[in-house]
């Protein structure tokens, strides 16, 4: 699911089984590039705590954002 070598991308949460306090379904999250996690089918997400943690990749779908939207989201948080 990594975005061709980018240090970060954005995904939308589609499941939060067991992580209701950390993840909100239908919310956009920042994903950090982590090849080791990806090889085990996990993604590194900056969650509600503001910290990055590993979650199953099946909990997220990648989204395409315009450059303007990407920059705005990165500035926001």
Give the DSSP per-residue string, 62-74. E----HHHHHHHH
Q: Which residue has the higher pLDDT, 7 or 4?
A: 7
Q: How far from chain centre, in Å, is Cα 54?
A: 9
Tokens at 27, concatenated: 């919310």
Structural domain that includes position 17: 8-76
Query: How high is the mean pLDDT of the chain?
Result: 88
Global pTM reads: 0.82
Q: Which among 61, 26, 30 is positioned nearest to 44, based on CA atoms?
A: 30
Q: Which among 74, 53, 68, 56 is positioned nearest to 10, based on CA atoms?
A: 74
Does residue 57 form part of some domain? yes
Q: Total structural domains in the chain? A: 1
The CATH code of the domain that includes 57 is 2.30.30
């Amino acid at each position: 699911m990594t975005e061709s070598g980018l240090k970060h991308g954005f995904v939308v949460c589609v499941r939060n089984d067991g992580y209701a306090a950390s993840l909100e379904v239908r919310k956009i999250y920042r994903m950090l590039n982590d090849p080791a996690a990806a090889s085990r089918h996990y993604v590194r997400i900056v969650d509600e705590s503001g910290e990055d943690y590993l979650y199953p990749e099946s909990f997220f779908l990648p989204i395409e954002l315009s450059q303007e939207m990407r920059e705005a989201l990165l500035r926001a948080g």
